[in-house]
Structure 1
Amino acid sequence: MNSSTNYVGQSRRAAWCAAWLLLASAVLALCGASVGSTGFDSVLRMHGDPVAWQIVWDIRLPRTLGAWLAGALLGLSGAVAQGLFRNPLADPYLLGSASGAALGGAVAMALFGVSPVAAHWLARIGITGMAFVGAAGAVVLTLLLAKGVQHTLRLLLAGVIVGVVLGALRDLVELASPDILQAMQAFTLGSTAFVGWMACVLMAVAFGLCSVVAWMLARALDGLTLGEATAASLGLPLMPMRAGLVAAMALATGTAVAQTGLIAFVGLAAPHLVRSIVRVTHERHIVLSSLMGAVLLLAADILARWLLAPQELPVGVLTAALGGTYLLWLMHRRTSQGGAL
């Protein structure tokens, strides 16, 4: 009876949490459409001023929606990574996707201007396309080194190695082409300033696909919390399920990084925040983590635009500062209580 009552209570709490996160998303979306170098006046003048309409419709709204979608992708990836590796400190970049995306972006920037052929080829793919190719390539390389997904520890170590090696290659590209250093700094610090409607469409499609796959395979994450032997004894096909979860995590992370650069701590902090509010199965945890990541990144993006207006802070710097402070506080609280993260 107590177990049934507790389940009903947690389900209601999860529903309320989702409702509050959706409400916060709507409020932040209105704020995102209003915050900018021209202030709230652009929203008031939309009907009679074509410049104000262009500012809100072509710049602020896609940026706001893009920040929400990128945060949702990172939150989903973080929830999958922490469940897959059974490690609360796992983040979406563990498989080397961040280093691969940075390398792909650096190579694309370095090739600009080298020859008309290179420029024409890059014009078709774009820097964001190269960043996505680099992220996907890094994950594939990690899987090859780990010889599949059957050994979680081997997969984790392979991801760390791939990340270090690709990071070193990116440094070599930057040394060979020092004129790209400023652009690469903007990429590694993260920004939503260049997100347009097409990027929003791509992220929305990726989020839809990854959400469906992760939700369908969430039973594997629930089983892994009991241990691999127990999960296998329950009849779960762990290898194909792991492969699907890794694919969803890689697609979500690669898409977000390609469009917004390297934004730290959102994928790590969002699942922690959800667990501090409600304990549910991974089916609901993934959904709530996606919503939490979306709210976190959108709020950070609005703060980054507002704090030093009309100048902007890199949103990745803000998320790293806020997320790092939160995790330090959480570590201190759990240590003082004799618990773990």
Structure 2
Amino acid sequence: MRRPPTASPSRTAPAPTSPRRTPLAPVAAGLGLLLLVSLLAGVTLGAAGVGTGDVFRFLWAGLTGGTVAAADGPAYTIVWEIRLPRVVLGAVVGAGLASVGVAVQAMVRNALADPFVLGISSGAAVGANAVILLGVFAGLGVWALSVSAFASALAAMALVYAAARTPRGLTPLRLILTGTALAYGFEAVTTVMVFGAARGEAARSATALAYGFEAVTTVMVFGAARGEAARSAMMWLLGSLGGATWAQVPIAAVTVTLGWVWLRRRAEALNALAMGDETAAALGVPPTVLRRELFVVTAAVTGTVVAVSGAIGFVGLMVPHLVRMVAGADHRRVLVLAPLAGAVLLVWADLLSRLLLAPAELPVGVITAVVGVPAFLLLMRRGTRPLGGR
């Protein structure tokens, strides 16, 4: 008797069932249009007013290599050199965090996981604050912060992987527990550096916001803190796009795009993994191998975006849930909409961070927390649907 051939997971992994089957194309087109409007708003609005007509003129000059009048030089610099790379980088970071959020939730089979559950963000914070507070890698100039944060993120990834790995491979529970435990360890190292470098009681007290009501406390801290290094450190720890430059955009964009392409190609395997390891194995998807690949991809994308923007929370947690409410649990659909939704969310969050206390700025992570905490509680109250849709 011949054994039936093992079916390819790309052909037989069933899409998770969902009561909603919203047409994908109109929603994706609407989000794409909303993203364009958001980018335009991010470039136009700010502490220094620039008319919409002037914005289009400056953008056209920048894209075509044209010239502008000498009197328009300051406004052109604001639009092309400051605001445009900032909103573009914000869109890239938002898309990356949302995509990785989808992957992490499938990898650990936990609907309340996000890209930072593996401790990578906290690890990157150690490297970033080593530059800000201690002057490490000062010889690298403007690249010191990004290089140090990315290197420490990779080191954190390797440490989490080594600690969580067992002879049977990676398991969701061990990944979560190991990442959470090491994240606390990395945060402790960061706190020691901030306390050691801070000068003045107000700046030193700023470290308490990492353990309390961050959004409210940060507003008071930024009004009272005296230590510039400590203030910069806290700005990075809560996420900021204030230092965005054109040099940062290509690296982040390429990494996020490659990561998204890989995840999109593995969407059906993610559907199988979300239904459980036994189901995935029965469908021809080796869960341990897939989880290892996901770990590397999510670590690379998270490390890259954290290196250029700091630790921005709640985007990777909220966006996948909001998208699933519209598109269902099928990763082939979720991974189309999540990057667009994440980009829109972060562009507007960054815009609010610039406008609320203009000309001063809030960390963008404060805005995402203010939006994310109520959304998180609402999701908890309504109950989250299992990733497999069952």
TM-score > 0.5 by shorter chain: yes
Alignment match of 1:150 (pick from 164, 170, 176): 170
What residue is the counterpart of 1:52 in the other structure?
A: 75
Structure 1, 313-322 or 324-333: larger mean CA deviation: 324-333
Is 2:159 the partner of 1:137?
A: no
CA contact (8 A) 1:220 1:238 kept: no
Q: Could you say if the C-alpha distance between residues 22 and 109 of structure 1 is closer, same or farther in structure 2, counting changes exceeding 3 Å? A: same
Q: Distance in 2 between matches of 1:110 and 1:31?
A: 34
Q: Which amino acid is the alignment partner of residue 170 of structure 2?
A: Q
**Given residue 165 of structure 1, which amino acid in structure 2 is its aligned partner?**
G
Contact preservation (8 Å) 2:312, 2:364: yes
CA–CA distance in structure 2, aligned partners of residues 86 and 246 of structure 1: 13
Map residues 247-286 of structure 1 onto 2, 5 A cutoff: 247-286=296-335
CA distance in 1, matches of 2:156, 2:53: 42
**Which secondary structure state, in structure 1, belongs to the residue aligned with residue 115 of structure 2?**
coil
**1:330 has 2:373 as partner:** no
By how many angstroms is 1:40 displaced?
A: 2.5
**What is the alpha-carbon distance in structure 2 between the residues aligned to residue 307 and residue 164 of structure 1?**
31
1:43 positional shift: 5.7
Equivalent positions of 1:180-259 (< 5 A) are: 180-259=229-308
1:94 to 88, 96, 117: 117
Contact 2:138 2:144 in 1 (8 A): no
Q: Which of 311, 316, 320 in structure 1 is aligned with 2:365?
A: 316
* Correspondence 1:17 to 2:14: no
- Which of residues 198, 202, 209 is equivalent to 1:178? 198
Q: Name the amino acid aligned to 1:325.
A: P
Contact kept? 2:132, 2:145, Cα under 8 Å: yes
Residues matched between the structures, number:
329
1:132-189 Cα deviation digits (max 9, x unpaired): 1111111110000011653221111111111111111111222232253222111112
Amino acid of the residue matched to residue 146 of structure 2?
A: T
Q: Identify which of 99, 118, 128 aligns with 2:146.
A: 128
TM-score, normalization by structure 1: 0.89
Correspondence for 1:119 among 138, 142, 145: 138
Q: Which runs of 5+ in 1 are unaligned?
A: none
TM-score (ref. length: structure 2): 0.78
Q: Which moved more, 1:262-271 or 1:244-253?
A: 244-253
Cα RMSD of the aligned pairs, angstroms, is 2.5
Provide the rounded CA distance (Å) in 1 between the counterparts of 2:274 and 2:145: 39
Change (3 A) 1:306 1:109: closer
1: CA distance, partners of 2:80 / 2:165: 47
Q: Name 1:28's counterpart in structure 2.
A: 38
User: 1:295-321 CA deviation, whole Å, 9 max, x = no partner?
Assistant: 110111112222333332221101101
8 Å contact kept, 1:42–1:52:
no
Q: Max radius of gyration: which structure?
A: 2
User: Do 1:103 and 1:170's aligned partners in 2 also have CA atoms closer than 8 Å?
Assistant: yes
Q: Mark the CA change 1:124 to 1:54 in structure 2 (over 3 Å): closer, same or farther.
A: closer
SS in 2 for 1:38: coil
The residue type paired with residue 155 of structure 2 is G
Q: Percent identity?
A: 38
3-state SS of the aligned residue for 2:117?
coil
Aligned with 1:323: secondary structure?
Answer: helix
Q: Residues 78 and 267 of structure 1 are in contact (CA less than 8 Å); yes or no, is this contact kept in structure 2?
A: yes
Unaligned runs of 5+ residues in structure 2 are 1-13, 59-67, 200-228
